[in-house]
Amino acid sequence: MTRATLAEVLQPALAGRYAVAGLVTLGWEDMRAFVAAAEAEGCPVILQAGPSCRAHTPLPVLGAMFRHLAEAASVPVVAHLDHGYTAQECREAIDSGFTSVMFDGSRLPVAQNIAETAAIVAMAHAAGVSCEGEIGFVGYTDGETSAGTVPAEAARFAAETGIDAMAISCGNVHLQQNHEGGLDEARIRAIEALTGVPLVIHGGSGVPVAQRRALALGSNICKFNIGTELRMAFGAALRAAVGSDPARFDRVAILRETHDPMVAAARSVLRALKPV
């Protein structure tokens, strides 16, 4: 059994100067491929169930799927709730066997975000589960605009909540379909100077791979969330599988052909964050 908490994979990453990928899942096919990729690379992986995934599949089902994969894996696998917006949602994830929850209070005033995050950290830690929080809102492509994290607020947030990982806003944006973005490294260094908590980048698909690697090996960023580029890889593989034989209708046979391309795409992501 290799189910791990977020703290159990991020603290070694912080000490060893590398990062772990939080791979955003939407269903069985991609989560299975992500674990196979992590085993092939010999590194831990964080399976993430975000709002889109949870809208499609209930948390207790996702928890069972994650547990099944983790218990058979040869590498540490974290079962992570991504962007939990309420204490009730975080509690359901904990009760469903998740080993890590992320409470997103980034739209709230700082004091309220701290208070609500601290309460969820206490709940999670009492259950032996890790907790990630977010300070400084990370926006969306063609949607809400990011609000950069204020370093002093990040230091206060980390100190007063007891979080295991802290998501920050430093030029990152959710749902970017290219690597043309880039992170504000001066802001990252200013945050690092005030707190030693492992840092998390949401919207990692928009960060150039070279910058991901440089920061993974040379900063306190210990977790990059990657979703959009892997969903794009899945979509391309699915279109190819369907297009190869328009008469086919068996979805099991069709979906089977997405496995190898998804393993390859995930391995590329994981490889860029591994230690030297």
180 in Cβ contact with 222 (< 8 Å): no
Task: Identify the DSSP state of 256.
Answer: H
> Which listed residue (82, 142, 250, 260) is catalytic?
82
Are 140 and 173 spatial neighbours (Cβ–Cβ below 8 Å)? Answer: yes
Choose among 52, 60, 20: nearest CA to 220: 20
239 to 91, 119, 204, 205, 234: CA distances (angstroms): 38, 45, 24, 21, 9
Closest CA to 102 of 58, 161, 150: 161
Asked about 30 being catalytic, the answer comes back as no
Q: Which residues are the active-site residues?
A: 82
